[in-house]
Structure 1
Amino acid sequence: MTATDTRPPVDVPAGLLPSLQFPDLGTLPDERGRGAACLWGGEPLSIATALDLGEHPHEGTTLFLRGCRVCTLRAALAAHKAHPGMCEQCTDDPSICEIRRGLRRLALELRR
């Protein structure tokens, strides 16, 4: 993705954030912890290319995590695949699990 990307920004629902696997927050370089670089890949981000992953209190400070579209898509797909093994609702009927459906919607939106 480039800084001239004209795709509309994607809103990552706060309810899905716990499902996304973040790297160890204690070992993040400063630019990733303050949202200047992608949480996962470390690529520099701009307002146009960054996806907000929320504020996260960590060891007396607040991290402002952001991700690029490609890495956030990878994280959403991995969470979608792993979720059924951790969810009682998915064991019974995965088609009505709101988290799994939300992860799928997020991945589809990120692919646009």
Structure 2
Amino acid sequence: MTTAETRALVDIPAELLPLISLPPLEVLSDARARGAECVWGGEPLSTATAIDLGEREETDGGHWFPRACRPCARRAVLVARNEHPGLCEQCADDSIICKTLRSLRALALELRR
């Protein structure tokens, strides 16, 4: 594996996945819904370059498997990081001790590499 291939492998912790907003399934192509293309940008993905965004379940019981390219995943994590303090009671009291905010910051830094 080359450095570029190993660099793309980032595991997003399960507790952070719900904080990352995704496009609605009904507007996505089949390739984006099954993870063959970036859920946001549409770039083709491979197992070496894809960031897994977790299996998602729809209200009808169907499942889909969004994945993203590294730059799009980082942008989405940054949005989640910026929105989190306004939704978190701990952040309102003291954002420095919020574990979720620290995890989002660390993930954004990891995706920057």
**TM norm structure 2:** 0.90
Structure 1 stretches of 4+ with a deviation exceeding 4 A read: none
1:26 CA drift (Å): 2.3
Query: Within the alignment, does 1:107 sit opposite 2:96 as a pair?
Result: no
Q: Which amino acid aligns with 1:5?
A: A
Please tell me the root mean square deviation across aligned C-alpha atoms, in Å: 1.6
Bigger proportion of residues as strand: 1
User: 56-65 vs 35-44, which deviates more?
Assistant: 56-65
CA distance in 1: counterparts of 2:3 and 2:18, whole angstroms: 30
CA distance in 1, matches of 2:8, 2:75: 19
Structure 2 regions of 5+ residues with no counterpart?
none
Query: Which one-letter code corresponds to 2:94 in the other structure?
Result: D
Residue in 2 aligned with 1:65? 66
Provide Cα deviations, 1:31-85, integer angstroms capped at 9, x if missing partner: 0110101111111101110011111112332101111100000001111111111
- TM-score calculated relative to the size of structure 1: 0.91
Unmatched runs of 5 consecutive residues or more in structure 1? none
* Structure 2 residue 43 is matched with structure 1 residue 48: no
2 CA distance for matches of 1:60 and 1:87? 29
